[in-house]
Amino acid sequence: MTRPRVVIAGMGDTGLLTARHLSRHVDVVGISTKPALVSGQELGMRLARPDGWAREYHVGFDRYRKLDGVRIVHGTLTQLSLADRVVRVRLPDGSTRAEPYDVLVIATGVTNGFWRRPHLQYDEDVDAALRAPHDQLAAAESINVIGGGAAAINAAAILALAWPDTRVALYFPRERALPQHHGRVWTTVAGILEERGVSLHARHRALVPAGFDLDRITTDPVAFSTGQPEAEADATLWAIGRVRPHTDWLPETLLDETGFVRVSPDLTVPGAPGVFAIGDVAATDPLRGSARNRADRLLASNIRRQLSKRPLRHYRANRRRWGSVLGYQPDGLRVFTPSGRSFRFPAWSIQTVLRPWIVRRGIYGGMRRHR
């Protein structure tokens, strides 16, 4: 008997996790512009310590034991035909392949800066894209970080730690940064930033230069629509959260007015039988938090339920953002809960418990050592 075929569109953080849950039960095809997992997490570490970042976050698909048997197609999705239940993929040689599905998972993510882009890459391209911004920032004596969300805060904190002699300034538009987190989170994090010598500039709304696509680190002075003088620095990192969904390959009927994929509480896409969506591209809730809230398990279970005609379960979003914000620090990994309180994995436990047991074994279901 042939098994149902699930096509995962986009093998980033959530596509990979969804594939990992399904691979033993159905035929899974993963389609990805990247040759490996290139995670969207931990911007600061990626910029400051690209080699260390790559060991954890640029990981060959063949290292994941639970992806054994998953067929990976390296290419760019160009079209979805709902009537035929087929997606079309442009392969690196320019030819096009049709991939039929019984179930399609849309997990193509978003662009929010030069570190997350949807274009086709090989491993060498990924390595080069890690190296160039690191070199530019390492050579800078002063760095502006623009933005008030987790990516900007994470970057400012880690760059200041990596290069204590570099002047790091953080500019954000409101009274406090991290407006989507509980207020306690900013109080804690602002203290850590100040301890590291980061100068904090509230109520500074930067003007994005005309025609600039946030695709690089800039060197010109930054102007502010809020009236303050321009801020000069050798390098300016833009992390202003201007997200752009990777949905140009989808019919417009599936998208909301901002271009994200409409989803029902059970993660199905209305008007598209057999289609689900997850991750940053999916308009599950105002914060689009299904990636960090680990909805991949629910999604995999709902796909199996739909295939066996059982009722689906609902995704419940958090009203506030939560997570690590600062990422891995010398004293361990602090995780902020939605109520703004935090707990910490101590430094000794990162390599002995957190990474081997919680991440590699628990989250990914076992990983091989080689790259």
By rule CB under 6 A, what string of x and - marks binding of each residue 235-254 to ligand FAD? -----------x--x-----
Of 62, 54, 75, which Cα lies nearest the Cα of 16? Answer: 62
> In this structure, what token pair is assigned to residue 168?
């790091």
Q: Which listed range, 35-43, 125-133, 139-147, 307-315, lies at the site for ligand FAD (CB under 6 A)?
A: 35-43
Buried b (16+ CB within 10 A) or exposed e, 123-162: eeebeebbeebbebbeebeebbbbbbbbbbbbbbbbbbbb
Using the minimum distance from each CB to ligand FAD, give the nearer residue, 223 or 359. 359
Give the position of tokens 């699930």.
6
Q: Does 99 bind ligand FAD (CB under 6 A)?
A: no
Q: Does 268 bind ligand FAD (CB under 6 A)?
A: no
CB of 154 to ligand FAD, least distance (A): 8
DSSP element (H, E) containing 191: helix 183-195
Among 107, 185, 235, 267, binds ligand FAD (CB under 6 A): 107
> In this structure, what token pair is assigned to residue 147?
């933005």
According to DSSP, residue 355 is labeled I
Q: Does 201 bind ligand FAD (CB under 6 A)?
A: no
Strand partners, 345: 333
Q: Does 46 bind ligand FAD (CB under 6 A)?
A: no
Q: Which listed range, 39-47, 203-211, 222-230, 266-274, lies at the site for ligand FAD (CB under 6 A)?
A: 39-47
First-last CA distance in the chain: 35
Binding-residue total with ligand FAD (CB under 6 A): 33
Q: Does 18 bind ligand FAD (CB under 6 A)?
A: no
* Footprint of ligand FAD on 326-365 (CB under 6 A): 363
User: Are 212 and 241 contacting, i.e. CB atoms less than 8 angstroms apart?
Assistant: no
Of 270, 251, 276, which Cα lies nearest the Cα of 26? Answer: 276
Q: Give the up-direction half-sphere exposure of residue 342: CA atoms within 13 A in the CB hemisphere.
A: 24
* Footprint of ligand FAD on 62-91 (CB under 6 A): 76-77
Among 280, 298, 345, 355, binds ligand FAD (CB under 6 A): 280
Q: How far, CA to CA in Å, does 158 sit from each of 193, 329, 331, 367?
A: 9, 8, 13, 27
Secondary structure, 3-state, 39-59: CCCCHHHHHHCHHHHHHHHEE
By rule CB under 6 A, what string of x and - marks binding of each residue 311-330 to ligand FAD? ------------xx------
Using the minimum distance from each CB to ligand FAD, give the nearer residue, 32 or 144. 32
Among 14, 144, 218, 268, binds ligand FAD (CB under 6 A): 14
Using the minimum distance from each CB to ligand FAD, give the nearer residue, 222 or 250. 250
Q: Does 116 bind ligand FAD (CB under 6 A)?
A: yes
CB of 184 to ligand FAD, least distance (A): 16
